[in-house]
Structure 1
């Protein structure tokens, strides 16, 4: 697969490329923000979609045994996790699934715990439904994040009914170790708190076998958790609106499906089904190549910043294609930092403050694109920071 050649995405109704003016107030910036790739999907996916389109009929589609089997086989081969096909519930996306889960398993006034900084919808799926948010900030040391289990334990009172885990973690890029997951699960299960694990980035791990599905820790944990998965991030098919919510416990699964029925979420996407099966049965080689390419991009960014822009700190993440950049040395407010990047560097990144107060001073960079685009972004950032240095020096001389 040739990941080096940039693919033109302008005028394809791309949220990432075509909505810059509305989102950022500028259209002349490099879009390195929202988490989709600029790579074509695997050939197996494109071929399957072409075949399905040529058939010409796009009526209602069932969640077939072949669809479920493809998911089960992938979980076993990629993550060593044996699942029953009956555990799989289709949903149009992981974020809608989280919203349905909050509705199904909590009541207004209940509390839901999350670990911050974290993917912005983790906040809204809780507060939009009138539930109270419990924030358990991660501990950051030199760009590496760990769980604050002591603070988490203190925050889990009897009103907390749900704990939403991000595993691997977006935006800090951690792949939680088995002992970390076990500790969180123990705290929740001792208090009767249902565990929900968003594992949408599980396939985007750079050390083979490093990711542990939460439900694969023990029989007891398996019966008290919901695992949210999707092929969307892995194979760049987010626009096909397909996710798979894996729920081993029968009563929990029935309750979740009851909520889906309440909102008439009962039909899988025709093209999403075809793409998912093709991705999981024929996309392994493509994914392995993509991971190698993206890791090289991240190493390039890390080395470039260290050599040319030491004010900006980062680490190569353990998972995802998203880099968490620490701009705190520039001492700018979140809005000023965003404007600095848009106007001076001409690059569009995700504001760290959108991931919570703990994200202030940070920005999230998406490197799932051609190396030439990454190099151009670093060049622009370098030039902008050089000008900033000169301005700082001039300011000191006049004070």
Structure 2
């Protein structure tokens, strides 16, 4: 009598084959494994899980770059578990790497926005590093709290180096901050490393302290920016938003006011952050804030509301694992303001022009999402 494999059995066999293929993965085998992952992950990941970014400068600007424009790709918030627990997020990250590698021409570099791992475990971080190592373009990376609080960043720094750094690329000064520094809430409670990690990962447990940049990094930031003119082009990456939105979910940086004061002398500064997994738009004086979509899952908006300039995402379909997730494009203009396209999966993209934030929401108001909330 003929026998038929159940959907669950077929899925588990495909899953096992995928992770067998990830062992000792090289570039040639990655192409084969990622192709298989894409087929198995149909409906789980967007056709494009990265953010191509175009930085445009006027002729003669940008120092030695001479006004040359360039592109970089952005991948963020994969929240990888160990492979025997969850493989959906790994498949999404593989798809993102595959998408970036198919760009022609290649971006100048790829920026990863934090929370590569879910619980900061060695196998989670090594799985992420293994997948990201197949990028053709150079990698820049930022740490998230899920990467850090199991071993206080030891494994992450072993893989990627310092969590706070800056670099210059074709006339733009990029600053990467570790904005998820917390005060010690674990020692007095006698917590184990995993208890500490799960407390931080829980967000709304009431035990942890708010995220901060901290005194040491603020001093570093002042020194790093000291040699720049007031009209310099500055882009800052932080995992948490560098303003105070909603403390219970740590959509909040406790010393954001002090960081903003350091950036205040520049004509314009753009801050791009992860962590919130949703469209967030804000402006505080000369600083323009843009939250990024996640590839893992969307967070709901804070119950107390959102910044006035935010274009609200509609509530995702709870039966669709990728609804509310997505990617986007960012065009940075010569004045350091940006146009951002949010490519929400299963919905029309939303374009937020620089003139929208520049006019405090009076010009070029983006359209509402094309599908109702669930």
TM-score in same-fold range (> 0.5): no
Structure 1 or 2: more helix by fraction: 1
Largest Rg, 1 or 2: 1
TM-score band (shorter)? Answer: under 0.3
Greater relative contact order, per chain length (Cα 8 Å cut-off, separation 6+)? 1
> TM-score scaled by structure 1?
0.26
